[in-house]
Amino acid sequence: MNWRYTFTVGFGFFGISIIWPIFNSLIPPMLEDLGLAATVIGFILTWDNIINMFVQPWVGERSDRTWTRFGRRKPWLMLGAPMAALFFILVPFVRENFLLIALAILGTNIGMALFRSPTIAYLGDLFPAEQRSKANGVINLMGGLGAAIALFAGGALYKIGVPLPFIVGAGVMLLAIIVVLLAVREPAQVESAPAEAQAGLIANLREVYRQDDRSGVMILLAIFLWFVGWNAMEAFFTLYARNVLEIDEGSATQMLTIFAATLILFAIPSGFIATRFGRRRTILVGLSGMLLGLLIGFGVRSAGVLLVVLAFMGAFWALVNINSLPIVYDVGGEARIGTYTGLYYFASSLAAISGPILAGALIDVAGHAAIWLFSAVFIGLAMMAMLALREPETMPKQVPA
């Protein structure tokens, strides 16, 4: 396994991960300052996922069959990344006008949707099955590093000037994507997808549902459930901290850095653990730790104690997050990497639509602290789905070093 090259591939996810922590942490307070209720804020935060439900599966499938002198995936990176950066920079400058900030958010979402699936599909394109958990550990380490930088530096820059984290974040994202465009070598020959894999999102979902082996259904259901839980928490953590812990938005954003830090520390070990013990078992352990952390967090009212809880949760989330896409590829097969990348993001996008809306409605009724119990319920349901999943036969067995 070429570790240096794997880190280079990880710059794509690094660039993606720079944008979303700033987006999810700093835009909700802007929307609340416009007088919007939590339910409306939650709905706005789902726009990207509504777009992703349709755009990312389509782009993933199309990128399986896109051939240009730049490759299959790169044209989508070249189109989407500049568009996302431009609209992301505009957000803070138009934050006092609802229509304009809504348009800036929408433009950012569309741009990101155009290049995320092709970027992540490199995991399947460039690494064989037995290396994917370890490679995804490196890629997510790079993503976690990007998230940590975005949260810590973004919070600090926000205190200096509201537009700064958006400007700097967009610039860093573009630099990271340029590294990928220049350094990644796409394979010249790949296995062709079967005809039924090219029939569109609905047909692909129907084909997965009709399979005698329910592995495809159960893994997509589990992904949907655990992302409902976590995306709701991520979307409303800043507001929880401001309204319950009574700390400012910048400090609340920086608190999430500890979660990203332990995710970074456990990213590569999570890949090795899954290679040794199996992806399904590793994900179940991660979900158990997340559930425990959420239940503890519900009763915490000290920012210092909450930092410890977030660190604990970040380590266990790594076990889940690092191995989720590789196990999807195990189920889907080599010929449908882009298609199953799209289905993975369909499930996670549908979850991210449902999570903030449902959680926002609950917060309006029961208060901001209820977000912890909401997330715990869905993480628990994801555990049940994973217990019903049989370890895919394509999961590599341990091989001697």
CA distances in angstroms from 138 to 131, 134, 396, listed in the order given: 11, 7, 18
Residue 396 located in a structural domain: no
Nearest-angstrom CA–CA distance, 341 and 350: 14
The one-letter amino acid code at 30 reads: M
Name every residue whose Cβ is closer than 8 Å to that of residue 353 and which is 6 or more positions away in sequence: 46, 49, 50, 53
Closest by Cα among 347, 99, 64, 96 to 186: 64
Share of the chain above pLDDT 90, in %: 26
- Read off the pLDDT band of 380 (50, 70, 90): very high
The span from the first CA to the last CA of the chain, in angstroms, equals 11
The phi, psi pair for 389, rounded to 5°, reads: -90, 130
Which two three-digit tokens encode residue 140? 């997510």
Highest mean pLDDT (candidates 11-25, 63-77, 374-388): 374-388
Looking at residue 34, the DSSP 8-state letter turns out to be T
**3 state SS of 231:** helix
Q: Tell whether the model's pLDDT for residue 390 goes beyond 70.
A: yes
pLDDT at 120: 82
**Where are the alpha helices (H) located in 161-302, listed in sequence order?**
164-183, 201-210, 215-240, 249-277, 279-298
Instruction: Tell me which residue range forms the domain holding 324.
Output: 3-184+197-387
Nearest-angstrom CA–CA distance, 221 and 213: 14
Q: Tell whether the model's pLDDT for residue 44 goes beyond 80.
A: yes
Residue 401 located in a structural domain: no
Q: Tell whether the model's pLDDT for residue 85 goes beyond 70.
A: yes
pLDDT at 336: 67
pLDDT at 61: 72
- Supply the pTM of this predicted model: 0.73
Residue 395 located in a structural domain: no
Average pLDDT over residues 85-107: 92
HEC string of 305-348?
Answer: HHHHHHHHHHHHHHHHHHHHHHHHHHHHCHHHHHHHHHHHHHHH
Q: Tell whether the model's pLDDT for residue 89 goes beyond 90.
A: yes
pLDDT at 190: 58
Name every residue whose Cβ is closer than 8 Å to that of residue 305 and which is 6 or more positions away in sequence: none
Average pLDDT over residues 203-231: 80
- Read off the pLDDT band of 83 (50, 70, 90): very high
Q: At what angle do helices 11-33 and 98-120 cross, to 10 degrees?
A: 160
- CATH code, 77: 1.20.1250.20
Q: Tell whether the model's pLDDT for residue 111 goes beyond 70.
A: yes
Residue 392 located in a structural domain: no
The answer to whether the beta carbons of residues 228 and 376 sit under 8 Å apart is no
Q: Tell whether the model's pLDDT for residue 399 goes beyond 70.
A: no
**Over the stretch 134-147, which tens digit does the pLDDT of each residue have?**
888 888 888 878 88
The answer to whether the beta carbons of residues 343 and 52 sit under 8 Å apart is no
Q: Tell whether the model's pLDDT for residue 319 goes beyond 90.
A: yes
pLDDT at 203: 67
Residue 344 located in a structural domain: yes
- Read off the pLDDT band of 162 (50, 70, 90): confident
- Per the model's pLDDT, the better-predicted residue between 273 and 57 turns out to be 273
**Over the stretch 256-268, which tens digit does the pLDDT of each residue have?**
778 878 888 888 8
Number of domains in the chain: 1
- Read off the pLDDT band of 227 (50, 70, 90): very high
- Read off the pLDDT band of 196 (50, 70, 90): very low
Residue 375 located in a structural domain: yes
**3 state SS of 68:** strand
Residue 398 located in a structural domain: no
- Per the model's pLDDT, the better-predicted residue between 85 and 139 turns out to be 85
- Using only C-alpha atoms, the chain has a radius of gyration, in whole angstroms, of 20
Least confident of 36-45, 283-292, 326-335, 349-358: 326-335
Least confident of 97-101, 241-245, 372-376, 393-397: 393-397
Residue 224 located in a structural domain: yes
Q: Tell whether the model's pLDDT for residue 285 goes beyond 70.
A: yes
Q: Tell whether the model's pLDDT for residue 374 goes beyond 90.
A: yes
